Amino acid sequence: MTETLPAGFQRVPARVRSADRSPRDLFLHAKPWQFGRQGRKYRIVAERMRRLSRVLSRFDRSGNCKSIFALVKTILERVRSAELHYPEQGPPYLRRMKWSRRTVFEYLRRLEAQKICSKAGLLAYHGTRRRLLHAERLLSVPVESCTSTRRESRTRIESLDSKKVHLGGKKHNHHADDAACVPKEPYRRSAESVPYQTRLARFTAMARLNILARTTESPESVDWILRTVIGRALQARTTIRSAAYLERGFESQVADDEAQLERGGAELVATASEMRRKIAFVQACVEQATREGRRARDVLAERLPP
C-alpha cells in the first residue's frame, strides 16, 4: 500500500545505522578516544591518528578502505591541506598541527601497532605500497583512566551520616572528606628527584662543551673558572638549575678578570713612574752634596718637605 503525503511534504530517509555505514564513513566520523590512549600526551596522539586515518580513508573511492594506494608525499600534502581547516588558537589537541614526512611515518607506525592500518604488498616491483584500514579495530567504548574511581569509604559514609544529623546546625566540610576518598595519582619521576650532584655534573659538562665551542680558552682555564662559579654559588646558597647559569657566570668571571688585569696594569705603571722620580731625586741630592762637600743625608733633609 502506497502512503500518500500532503502537498509540499516529502519523506526523510531514516538515519543510517552504524552497522550499515561504510568503513570510510566510520573513519570520517570517528572520535579521538576510539584510537586509544598512548603515552603522556594521549589526546594529541589520538587526534593525529584520527586526522591521518581520515585522509587515508578518502583514497579508496569504493569506501571499503581496502585498496589505498598513496605515496607518503601525497599523504603529507593531503594532511597539510586538511590542517588549514583547523584554528590556529585553542587547546593543543584541537588546533592546527604541523606535519612532516617523519611525522607521517611515525603515526603510520602507530596505526599499524594498533592494527587499525596494515600493509598488503606493493602495486609493482618498487611500486606504491597498498594499505588497508580496519574499522572494526576502532574502540566502541572509551578506555578507562589508569586512576581508580572514587569509592565509598568509611570516611565518606560517616560524612554522609553527619550531614543528616547536622542539617540545621553547623555546616560540615564535606569537600575535605571527598578529597580524602580520592586516591592519589601514581608517582612520576621528575627532574627534582634526581640527586643535585648528578644534575650539577650534567650542567657542568654541558656548559663546558658550549664554552669550548665558542671561545678560545684552554680546557684547564675553563674548568678552573667553572669551579670558581660553582664555589661562589654554593657559598651564596644558590641552587644551579641549568647550564645557562654556569655559562653566564663564566662570562661575568672572565669580564671581571679582564677589568682587574687592566686596573693592575695601571697600578704597575704608576708605581714604576713614582720609583723613577724617587731615584732621580736621590741622585740630584747626592750630586749637590758632592759639589758642596757636605753629607748627602743633610742635603736630603733640607730638600724634603717638613
What does DSSP assign to residue 4? P
pLDDT tens sequence across 93-142: 899 999 999 999 999 999 999 999 999 888 888 888 999 999 998 988 77
Q: State if pTM tops 0.75.
A: no
Greater confidence (273 vs 220) lies with 220
Residue 116 near residue 133 (C-beta atoms within 8 A): yes
Give Rg (Cα) of the chain.
Answer: 41
CA distance linking residue 248 with residue 20, whole number of Å = 66
**CA gap 232, 83 in Å, rounded:** 52
Q: Give 42-66 pLDDT, tens digit per residue.
A: 899 999 999 999 999 999 989 999 9
